[in-house]
Structure 1
Amino acid sequence: MTIADYDDAFKLWSETQGMGLRSLDDSRKGIDFFLKRNPETNFICREGKKLVGVILTGHDGRRGYIYHAAVHRDFRRQGIGKALVDRALTSLRKEGIRKVALVVYKDNLRGNGFWESLGFTLREDLNYRNLSIDPENI
């Protein structure tokens, strides 16, 4: 994925039920910053010119993190999501990352089912905590 894919990716994220988007983090500037920091770990899938799948993946040198994985509703159940995840995990392994985390809203049944089908387990021993240090990042 490159910043040239941003408009199509943002449109797909916006149309995907259960996707949480933030005003600054997911702006063109925010995604450009993320892509520059993680140039080899983000992927898209196109059917012709139409973007039908996207996954943002990055790491901090220790853990990998998956964000905003989405497949267009008309192209689901064709292996696109799994292929994007496989590609992202392969890229993280090449960078020496051995463990990956992600966040899914509890009420996103489709998303939770997808990640469970790929072997991602639910951690019940942790509390996820969040603090926005920029009040404009809603």
Structure 2
Amino acid sequence: TVRSSLAALGGTVGGADWAAVRAALRGDGPFAGNSLSVARKGFLGLPGGKAGMAKVVGGDAAAVGRVEDARQDLSFALAQLEDFALENTSLFFNSVDRKEVEKLMAETQYQEKTGEGKQLLVAAQTSAAIFEKVVTSANNKN
């Protein structure tokens, strides 16, 4: 589920591995097709768009609208987390450059600030909980 995927991402955010956070959110490499990347696609990427989602939700146009609205809110929260991860991704010219930066960080006892990333993760988790409630509500009405 989206919520379990976000919970699993907590350690990655806490460890400030922003490249891995972006890969998971974008569905890159080993994360291809994960629930986080699917949730970012209109109508969950279902064939037929609105009609495809109507089949899954049960055909109620109002329910499809509520699910898609909640999905868009979730997608926005995930995009904010991805934007933050991109802004904080470290790029190195080569392995020597990376070692020098790591050495400097160790010497200065630099600790990366992860507070904003954690706040964005909590916001995404809250949005995911709302999304799942909307989906459950839509499915229970049919």
Confirm or deny a common fold (TM above 0.5).
Answer: no
More strand by share: 1
The higher relative CO (CA closer than 8 Å, separation ≥ 6) is in 2
More helix by share: 2
- TM-score between both structures, scaled by the size of structure 2: 0.21
